[in-house]
A = this chain, B = another copy of it.
Amino acid sequence: MILEIADIRIHTGQNAAFDEAITRGLRTVVSGAHGFRTASVHHCMETPERYVLQIQWDTLEDHTVGFRQSEAFTQWRGIVGPFFAGPPLVEHFQVLLDGV
């Protein structure tokens, strides 16, 4: 399993609409992708425009090739992309420690 972490900044004042859009996009588009396991979204308390999206994929290529080169990626970006204030920082992670 690898973890995608996306650090997202949205335009100011669009939180309610973005909350609905990212929830809908994950449930209706991303969750159907090959290798998708689960996702979470967290909203920053200090910086209201900031969100952290985390998606577990079976393999790195399930995200970088299978999903990103699919029509589903275009649909997903159509739903959430208009809210982005800039390109999200997206990188992939391996677990060092999970549960202390």
Take A45-B94, A47-B91, A91-B44 as given contacts and tell me if A99 and B38 are in contact as well, using a CB distance cutoff of 8 Å.
yes
CA A73 to CA B93, docked complex, whole Å? 26
Let me know if B45 and A97 touch, CB within 8 A: no
Let me know if B94 and A42 touch, CB within 8 A: yes
Instruction: Give the chain B neighbours of A99 by CB distance below 8 A.
Output: 38-40
CA A50 to CA B97, docked complex, whole Å? 15
CA A50 to CA B7, docked complex, whole Å? 14
CA A65 to CA B44, docked complex, whole Å? 18
Q: Distance (Å) between the CB of A65 and the closest chain B CB?
A: 15
Q: Chain A 72-100, CB within 8 Å of chain B: the 1/0 string?
A: 00000000000000000001111111111
A30 in the interface (beta carbon within 8 A): yes
Residues of chain A having any CB pair with chain B under 8 Å: 2-3, 5, 7, 19, 22-23, 26-27, 30-31, 38-47, 50-52, 60, 91-100
